[in-house]
Structure 1
């Protein structure tokens, strides 16, 4: 099984990958690692932050994560109209 780091782009430090959403309790099972030798399996509460606006998108990371929320690094779509 391969687990990919879910945090915003970074080259070193601590990494966190989602393993399973535990659902009803607002928690998820995460794998946290720093290098190949330091690996930890932990249950973390979901991040409660949502994007601004009436249809706010929820962050898909854990509470108190560093850096950006998942909806902040989404690529904006641009519509080009013919001139």
Structure 2
């Protein structure tokens, strides 16, 4: 599993497992450098890119760093 957040080496890492089916939430795997992992349900990030056809962020609410539509091709992705 690859972390979906923009490039970073330390702290929490998150990988999207599946949309939970409930509006506005998804099931995520969270892990740390200590190999500790856990499954968590997080609300979707509500932020969209500027403009009339703004792309929505594919991460969770209150995530660190940039939104997925701000990332370069080597950065975060909606797919795993």
Same fold at TM > 0.5: yes
Q: Considering only CA atoms, is the larger Rg found in Structure 1 or Structure 2?
A: 1
Q: 3-state DSSP class of the match of 1:42?
A: strand
Asked which structure has the greater RCO (Cα within 8 Å, sep 6+), the reply is: 2
Unaligned runs of 5+ in 2: 74-80
Structure 1 segments, 4+ long, off by >2 Å, are: none
Q: How does 1:41-52 map to 2 (within 5 A)?
A: 41-52=39-50
Unaligned runs of 5+ in 1: 76-83
CA RMSD of aligned residues (A): 1.3
TM-score by length of 1: 0.81
TM-score by length of 2: 0.84
